[in-house]
Amino acid sequence: MERIRLGKTELMVTRIGFGALPIQSVDRDSAVKVARYAYEQGINFFDTARGYTTSEGDLGRALGEHERDVIVATKTRFKDMEQLEKDFNLSLENLKRSYLDLFQFHIVNYENELEAILKKDGPLKFLKKEQGRGRLRHIGITSHRPAMMLKALESDAFETVQIPFNYIETEPLDKLIPLARSRDIGIIAMKPVAGGVFSSSRAAISWILEHAGVVPIPGMCRIEEIDDNLQALNSPPSPAELARLENDKQELGTIFCRRCDYCLPCPNDIEASFIVRSGMMFKRVGWDRMNQNHVKAYTKGLSCDQCGTCESRCPYELPLTEMVVEESKNMLQKAVELGLLGEKELQEKIEAAKNREQ
């Protein structure tokens, strides 16, 4: 597989990397199998995070013995020295490595977070020390806000930047990608398939590959996804595929769920992210896939007390406090149309939820 230089890190990474967030949603054997399969297909760049629960550990089990052949990037949410040091050591241990290729500050969306990273004698000092000890090769940063990253890049403290970039989210093309290129900073595209919302992941990824130096890291947890995504290497998107991507973009607008699940867990055990993406998902896979378990999840969604916890965690600022109840009602209405629920039962559920509120 073609390899490209990840900016000034000089790391030679495969044209498509492996986003390891989704392997936390499958059992250990499947996670290890999928990561090994990706490696066997030629992928040498794997991106995980301390926050992805089991992901680091499973990558370590799958690839720990290939320290010299694979490039592993991980991330921390912490900016204070003590916690950062803990995370750094845990990452090394989980990944079964003697050094980390790339350690990134995870989801730096606000100015005060960037300031905490850049402050004198702050976390960068610790990471520089680890570089000196040979336990770390490169330092990067990630964010869901391209505009925030302009300042980060201007600081010259980071060798890579990771941002959402796909056919719908093209803001990085305006300033961030040109700036990163001019400073020789490696560019990693998270969410290249926007959480799986495109009618063709292959086309969405091949569109990204048309942008020089940008490395997409689609999240994958199934063998077929790897096979499908790697097809993107074969050819640029055809005019028909581009037209379909454009159609997807028009249909979705900007308020849609990217399946990152940062909004979970809900204190009331409501599957907020599943609920708000259900309409789009069933439209793709077919409404006949809806079943009684889904009806249960939407019924539970009606009991949302609008505490705002999920909304405050969503990096895309989706108005979840409104959406969860609204979408639960919409989906239950759909369940009535599909014969999974009676109209009377639906009204009773809505009444019961209202009474609980009072």
- Check the CA dihedral 10-11-17-21 and report its sign: negative
208 binds ligand SF4 (CB under 6 A): no
The secondary structure of residue 65, as a DSSP letter, is: G
Q: Which stretch binds ligand SF4 (CB under 6 A): 41-49, 147-155, 224-232, 262-270?
A: 262-270
Q: DSSP secondary structure string, 169-208?
A: --GGGTTHHHHHHHTT-EEEEE-TTTTTTSS-HHHHHHHH
Complex with ligand SF4: residue 31 or 266, whichever CB lies closer: 266
321 binds ligand SF4 (CB under 6 A): yes
9 binds ligand SF4 (CB under 6 A): no
The secondary structure of residue 66, as a DSSP letter, is: G
Least Cβ distance, residue 338 to ligand SF4 (angstroms): 24
331 binds ligand SF4 (CB under 6 A): no
> From CA 42, how far away is CA 13, in angstroms rounded?
10
Q: Which stretch binds ligand SF4 (CB under 6 A): 7-15, 223-231, 292-300, 318-326?
A: 318-326
Q: Which stretch binds ligand SF4 (CB under 6 A): 45-53, 164-172, 255-263, 345-353?
A: 255-263
Q: Which stretch binds ligand SF4 (CB under 6 A): 4-12, 81-89, 128-136, 314-322?
A: 314-322
Q: Which stretch binds ligand SF4 (CB under 6 A): 52-60, 77-85, 185-193, 252-260?
A: 252-260
What three-state secondary structure class fits 3?
strand
Residue type, 28: R
Given 273, 278, 299, 328, the residue binding ligand SF4 (CB under 6 A): 273
168 binds ligand SF4 (CB under 6 A): no
Residue 257 CA: distances (Å) to CA of 68, 192, 252, 276:
37, 14, 10, 7
Given 25, 170, 268, 333, the residue binding ligand SF4 (CB under 6 A): 268
Which residues, in sequence order, are CB contacts of 171 under 8 Å at separation 6+?
Answer: 146, 147
306 binds ligand SF4 (CB under 6 A): yes
> From CA 83, how far away is CA 106, in angstroms rounded?
14
Given 35, 84, 161, 320, the residue binding ligand SF4 (CB under 6 A): 320
Complex with ligand SF4: residue 177 or 276, whichever CB lies closer: 276
Complex with ligand SF4: residue 96 or 349, whichever CB lies closer: 349
Computed over its alpha carbons, how large is the radius of gyration of the chain? Answer: 21
Burial label, 345 (beta-carbon count in 10 A; 0-12, 13-18, 19+): middle
Burial label, 238 (beta-carbon count in 10 A; 0-12, 13-18, 19+): exposed
Instruction: Decide: 110 and 148 in contact? Cβ < 8 Å.
Output: yes
324 binds ligand SF4 (CB under 6 A): yes
Given 1, 243, 255, 307, the residue binding ligand SF4 (CB under 6 A): 307
Residues that bind ligand SF4 (CB under 6 A): 257-263, 266-268, 270, 272-273, 276, 304-310, 314, 316, 318, 320-321, 324
